[in-house]
Amino acid sequence: MNQQVVTFDNIVQSVMPQFERISRKNNLVSWQEESQFAIQALQKNQFLQKCTQESIQNAVINVAAVGLTLNPADGYAYLVPEYNKGNRAQECQLRISFKGLVKVATDSGSIKWAKAEIVKENDSFSYKGPCEKPDHNMNPFQDRGNTVGVYCIAKTHEGDYLTDTMSIDEINKIKSCAKTQNVWNTWFDEMAKKAIVKRASKQWPQTNQSQTLNHAVQVINDVEGGHDPFAELEEIASEIIDLIEKDDLIEVGKIWCECDTKEQEALWTAKTKGGWFTSQEKDKIREGCTEYRKSENIVSEQ
* Three-state SS at 13: helix
Q: Give a yes or no: residue 28 inside a domain.
A: yes
Residue of 274 and 160 predicted with greater confidence: 160
CA–CA dist 157, 153 (Å, integer): 13
Whether residue 26 is found in the same domain as residue 69: yes
Co-location of 109 and 179 in the same domain: yes
Position 3 scores a pLDDT of 38
Task: Provide the pLDDT for residue 235.
Answer: 75
Same domain membership, residue 145 and residue 74: no
> What is the C-alpha to C-alpha distance for residues 244 and 214, in angstroms, rounded to an integer?
29
Q: Are strands 124-126 and 135-137 parallel, antiparallel or unpaired?
A: antiparallel
Q: Do residues 102 and 142 share a domain?
A: yes
Residue 171 CA neighbour count, 13 Å, CB half: 24
CA distance 101 to 98: 5
Q: Which residues contact 100 (CB under 8 A, 6 or more apart)?
A: 66, 68, 75, 76, 77, 216
Whether residue 3 lies inside any domain: the answer is no
| pLDDT of 44 higher than 80 | yes
225 lies in some domain? no
Strand partners, 225: 178
Task: Report if residue 208 sits inside a domain.
Answer: yes
Burial label for 208, CB within 10 Å (0-12, 13-18, 19+), is exposed
What's the confidence (pLDDT) of residue 2?
40
How many C-alpha atoms does 19 have within 13 Å on its Cβ side?
A: 27
Helices (H), 98-248: 98-108, 168-176, 181-186, 188-201, 210-224, 229-245
| pLDDT for res 28 | 87
* 3 state SS of 277: coil
Q: Which of 220, 239, 255 is the last residue of a domain?
A: 220
Comparing 13 with 202, which gets the higher pLDDT? Answer: 13
- The better pLDDT of the pair 57, 301 is held by 57
What total number of domains does the chain contain? 3
Q: What's at 294, amino acid-wise?
A: K
Q: Which pLDDT score, from 0 to 100, does residue 164 have?
A: 93
- Residue 228 is predicted with a pLDDT of 64
Q: Among 50, 66, 96, where does a domain finish? A: 96
User: Is 154 within a domain?
Assistant: yes
Q: Is the pLDDT of residue 45 over 70?
A: yes
In a domain, 241, yes or no: yes
Q: What is the pLDDT of residue 273?
A: 55
Q: What is the model's pLDDT at position 6?
A: 54
Q: Give yes or no for residue 297 having a pLDDT over 80.
A: no
Q: How far is CA 234 from the centre of its chain?
A: 15
Question: Is 2 inside a domain boundary?
Answer: no
209 and 172 inside one domain: yes
Q: Does one domain contain both 103 and 216?
A: yes
Statement to judge: residues 17 and 68 lie in one domain = yes
- 109 sits in the region (left: phi over 0; alpha: psi -120 to 50; else beta) called left
**Distance between first and last Cα of the chain:** 73
Question: pLDDT value at position 123?
Answer: 96
Beta strand ranges found along the chain (DSSP E): 77-84, 89-96, 113-120, 124-126, 135-137, 147-155, 161-167
105 in the same domain as 199: yes
CB atoms within 10 A of CB 264: 13
Kindly indicate the confidence band of residue 302, based on its pLDDT and cuts at 50, 70 and 90: very low
Which of 96, 124, 140 is a domain's end point? 96
pLDDT digits (tens, 9 = 90+) for 84-117: 877 788 999 999 988 999 999 998 888 999 999 9
Examine the domain organization and report whether 33 and 108 are in the same domain.
Answer: no
Phi, psi of 157 (to 5 degrees): -70, -15
Residue 264 lies in a domain: yes
Domain identity same for 171 and 250:
no
My answer on whether 259 and 172 are in the same domain is no
254 and 199: one domain?
A: no
Give me the phi and psi of 118, to 5 degrees please.
-85, 140
Domain interval for residue 202 = 98-220
How many Cα neighbours within 13 Å face the side chain of 153? Answer: 16
